[in-house]
Structure 1
Amino acid sequence: MPKSIRDELSMMAAGARLGQAVVDPAAWLCVMEDICRAVGATGAIMVQSDVRPTNVLYTSTLTELGRGYVRDGWHLNDPRVARYLPRLVGGEPVITDLDLFTAEEVRREPYYTEFLIPNGFRWLGVVAFRAGSDLWRLSLQRTPNEGIFTPESKPALAELSRRLSDAATLSKAVSHAALTGCTNALNLVHLPALAIDRSGRVLDVNAAAEATFDHELRLQNRRLFISDQSASIALEQFVTRMRIVSETAFVPTNPILVRRRERPPVLIRVLPIEPAARSPFLGARALLLLTDLRKTRSIAPDLLMQTFGLTRAEAKLAALIGAGQPLEQAANQLSIAPLTARTQLKAVFAKTDTHRQGELVALLSRVHSLRTG
């Protein structure tokens, strides 16, 4: 353990790393590693404490411990979290094992004897901090050799709590400004857009998107409500994939075609959030662009024949699909059987290297934009 945790933390916090993390969210893992070195800990976990956690950051040294934590069910029955979480919510800035258990309880508690010690860990120091109004915690994990967090270390860790609160609050504000700047810029060019976090909660929406909404596509309880069941399932599957990947990973997905009974369909495209807006304390994970297909004119079949080598029958069908018509409606308009339309659509998919109607609509929309732009 360092001779003086206070001196080590002061040197770390006075340096450029915390300031860098305010404007560069990718630097927060480096901040956590710096703190671990300063306090003599092997690893750290950073997670929000006042809601069910969705954003979790941990140093690479805790990868295997984290896997076992979930695999063995300790995330459902962690006695340390059960004891310290109410105290963090109550306002305590720093909590250690000595605040939670007696020495005899530590010797007998299965969490220590069956999980932590066999994995090379034992001691905990929890530092609470705020990102705006949100309560977060930094859990510092020590091995048996690194020793317990003593009462003498708590004043220095309390100072760290204050410094983290300042940096996290600024980081969240900077990322929110970057996010709204992005959606506002898209609004200036009449592109409807909204940003969501990894749980699907809407963080920001521009005016162009609000103008696209109706009772079949709208915001409800800070989430995007879609009455089209297949589109709703596709969006939920995308959100589910976001929940299980790392914070820095982008989850690609096919465009989602939202059909509406009373208005033309909307196409949802998913884009990554720009790096400056990816603060862990804001949680933005994806930008959804909405294309209102009532504003998309049908593409001339001759252009599709020339571009993709479609037959005239395939090109006529593709043009109608590209304008947002359901397959059955397009078949009826072309006076062909639904089975014939499905066969022709398969041929269109093969020639355009697409696999779903949403992908085809997105491709034809780009072709139309290039042709008319």
Structure 2
Amino acid sequence: MAQLGYAFRGAAAHSTTSEWWMEPFDLQRLSRVLAAAAIDPSLWTEALQTAAECTGSYGAVLLPVVGALPIVAATPSMDRSANVYVSDGWQGRDERYRGKAAFLANGVATDDDCMPLDARKRSPFYQEFLRNCNLSGWAGVRIGREDLVWNLSLQRTPEQGSYSARELRALSELSNSLDSVVQTCAALGLAKGESALSAFDFSKRAALLLDRSGHVVRVNPAAERLIGLDLQISAGRIRCQDPKSNELLHNAIRALFWSVEAFTIAPIVLQKVSGGRLVIYPMRLTGLTDSPLSLFHAILVISDTDLTQSAGMMTLREAFELTAAESRLAWALASGKDLESFAAERGLSKQTLRNQLKSVFMKTGTHRQAQLVMMLSNLVPEK
């Protein structure tokens, strides 16, 4: 479970006293601000500040249970501990992962669900990390169910104490009332994502939506037509047949996901089995991935060099009655490629290309490459 217990950042908050016959927290206020943030992602920081204040916590952060990434919604007072957590590698030694079963079953988990008090007194995570950051009591509140589960992680200082049994019952009640927050947020995010996919499809560009774990969430029709020998979706992930290309693609996706600031990275060029190329552009689109509860986290836009050239090659075929192979060669020469580089790109022998070129000369009424290129220049768009 991704970063179950640790809150990356938090908001200073002051605990409040309540009479025994009253609810320990203002659950209606808390539910209201979280529901508002589900509709308007710009309100998440304010919502988490309210969560910290309502629960007498030092800080609050919203963490995905699946798909741990450095980009999370949080309040700003725990920056120092966040830096220590990452720089000292505590994400690989976080004992609060042990509370996952109680978290999922009960809607709330505490440090007692992770390990006994005596063990915590000997644990480096509790004694070296949390103690040095002046953090102590913790409650992880489940938001959502099944595949759509997030953790509202609440953190207290030693002075604020642990969460009482009465407070934990209230947080469990809160958890059971927040399913609609996740569903609303996911639905709105997915609607925006599908609109983006439709826009790419309208412009004849293939595109796929990825979730925080890198799994494919949606594919537009243009991308579906590219799925096959060169690109596959296996176990929910986009894959290449060539191992080196597959590693290159996955490294690029990981680099985008783990970058806090970058919204795009350099495109990946993959060699097709047929000899052409696929150019993949990984990106996060502003406005589409703003919500921490968004169902997707990135988009891959794919350009097939063969399809990009197809319209121009079809014009050549119709104008001069060229074969598909001859039109590809004519297009390449008219676009500035030489015979040798085109042969290497397509995996063809020079003799085969020379024979094709002779046929192109005959059908176009030309005798030299320069003459052919000049004649075709008006049919090939400028780069």
On whether the aligned pair clears a TM of 0.5, the verdict is: yes
**Does 2:78 correspond to 1:62?**
yes
- Give the secondary structure class of the aligned counterpart of 2:31: helix
Match of 2:221 among 207, 231, 236: 207
Return 146-155 or 254-263, whichever deviates more. Answer: 254-263
Match of 2:63 among 47, 51, 72: 47
Q: Offset of 1:26 from its aligned partner?
A: 4.2
8 A Cα contact 1:48 1:56, kept in partner:
no
2:362 paired residue number: none
Q: Offset of 1:68 from its aligned partner?
A: 2.5
1:260 paired residue number: 272
Q: Offset of 1:197 from its aligned partner?
A: 3.0
**Does 2:132 correspond to 1:85?**
no
C-alpha distance after superposition, 1:221-262 (max 9, x if no partner): 22222234554343222122123223xx43422222222122
CA distance in 2, matches of 1:227, 1:178: 31
CA distance in 1, matches of 2:77, 2:29: 23
- Give the secondary structure class of the aligned counterpart of 1:242: helix
1:8 paired residue number: 26
Change over 3 Å in CA distance of 1:256–1:81 after alignment to 2: closer
Return 33-42 or 94-103, whichever deviates more. Answer: 94-103
1:337 paired residue number: none
Q: Which TM-score applies when normalising by structure 2? A: 0.70
Change over 3 Å in CA distance of 1:127–1:97 after alignment to 2: same
**Does 2:37 correspond to 1:21?**
yes
Structural mapping, 1:328-343, within 5 Å: none
- Give the secondary structure class of the aligned counterpart of 2:297: strand
C-alpha distance after superposition, 1:331-352 (max 9, x if no partner): 9879xxxxxxxxxxxxxxxxxx
CA distance in 1, matches of 2:244, 2:125: 44
C-alpha distance after superposition, 1:314-362 (max 9, x if no partner): x9696339xx95766699879xxxxxxxxxxxxxxxxxxxxxxxxxxxx
**Does 2:166 correspond to 1:141?**
no
1:307 paired residue number: none
Q: Offset of 1:143 from its aligned partner?
A: 0.7
CA distance in 2, matches of 1:62, 1:124: 14
Change over 3 Å in CA distance of 1:133–1:272 after alignment to 2: closer
- Give the secondary structure class of the aligned counterpart of 1:121: coil
Structural mapping, 1:1-373, within 5 Å: 1-4=15-18, 6-14=24-32, 17-49=33-65, 51=66, 53-54=68-69, 57=72, 58-82=74-98, 84-89=99-104, 91-97=105-111, 107-130=121-144, 133-229=147-243, 231-246=245-260, 249-262=261-274, 264-297=276-309, 319-320=336-337, 325=342
- Give the secondary structure class of the aligned counterpart of 1:20: helix
Change over 3 Å in CA distance of 1:115–1:257 after alignment to 2: closer
8 A Cα contact 2:67 2:213, kept in partner:
no
8 A Cα contact 1:186 1:193, kept in partner:
yes
CA distance in 1, matches of 2:114, 2:227: 51
8 A Cα contact 2:263 2:283, kept in partner:
no
Partner amino acid, structure 1, of 2:93: N
CA distance in 1, matches of 2:239, 2:111: 44
Question: Which structure carries more helix by proportion?
Answer: 1
Change over 3 Å in CA distance of 1:167–1:7 after alignment to 2: same
- Give the secondary structure class of the aligned counterpart of 2:192: helix
8 A Cα contact 1:192 1:208, kept in partner:
yes
Q: Offset of 1:172 from its aligned partner?
A: 1.0
Unaligned runs of 5+ in 1: 300-314, 335-367
8 A Cα contact 1:97 1:123, kept in partner:
yes
Unaligned runs of 5+ in 2: 1-14, 313-331, 352-379
C-alpha root-mean-square deviation of aligned residues, in Å?
A: 3.6
Q: Offset of 1:41 from its aligned partner?
A: 1.4
Partner amino acid, structure 2, of 1:40: G
- Give the secondary structure class of the aligned counterpart of 1:212: coil
Change over 3 Å in CA distance of 1:80–1:272 after alignment to 2: closer
8 A Cα contact 2:275 2:346, kept in partner:
no
Change over 3 Å in CA distance of 1:198–1:238 after alignment to 2: farther
8 A Cα contact 1:43 1:142, kept in partner:
yes
1:308 paired residue number: none
**Bigger radius of gyration, 1 or 2?**
2
- Give the secondary structure class of the aligned counterpart of 1:297: helix
Partner amino acid, structure 2, of 1:252: T
CA distance in 2, matches of 1:288, 1:96: 39
